[in-house]
Amino acid sequence: MSMDDAITLWRPVGPAELRLIEAAAFGGFPPRLPEQPIFYPVLNEAYAVQIARDWNVKADGAGYVTRFAVRRDFLERYPVQQAGGRQHLEYWIPAEDLEAFNDAILGRIEVVAEFR
């Protein structure tokens, strides 16, 4: 499958989630906690930076932006959601679909920014 068949997404994460991603050899995201029924990857880097810098740093002392590619055919079953302003676009992946989401990741998850 080529990268033309993929959509690049970003996910802001805190230190604890990043450690779990590292433990998975940057191949997938950890299961959601019971109080986290939805997994929210975002569609643009600026939105991910805003969350990592403004929310994760405040809550956890550090924030990271991850980038990864997901098979387009997998994402087609989920509508894009607008969670605020025009650039605040994200997918809402139910927690029970996260394993299939991880299987649809092409390549590895990369850390592209860090904030403290």
CATH number at residue 86: 3.20.170
Single pTM value for the model: 0.94
Q: Is 70 exposed, middle or buried (0-12, 13-18, 19+ CB in 10 A)?
A: buried
pLDDT at 1 over 70: no
Place of tokens 């906690």: 33
pLDDT of amino acid 113: 98
Q: Mind giving me the DSSP string for 48-95?
A: HHHHIIIIIHHHHS-EEEEEEEEEHHHHTTS-EEE-SSTT-EEE-EEG
pLDDT in tens, 61-114: 999 999 999 999 999 999 999 998 889 999 999 999 999 999 999 999 999 999
Residue 46 to residues 43, 71, 87, 104, Cα–Cα distance (Å): 9, 22, 8, 23
pLDDT of amino acid 84: 86
For residue 75, what are the domain limits?
3-25+33-115
pLDDT of amino acid 111: 98
pLDDT at 3 over 80: no
pLDDT in tens, 7-42: 999 999 999 999 999 999 999 999 999 999 999 999
pLDDT in tens, 5-16: 999 999 999 999
Into how many domains does the chain fold?
Answer: 1
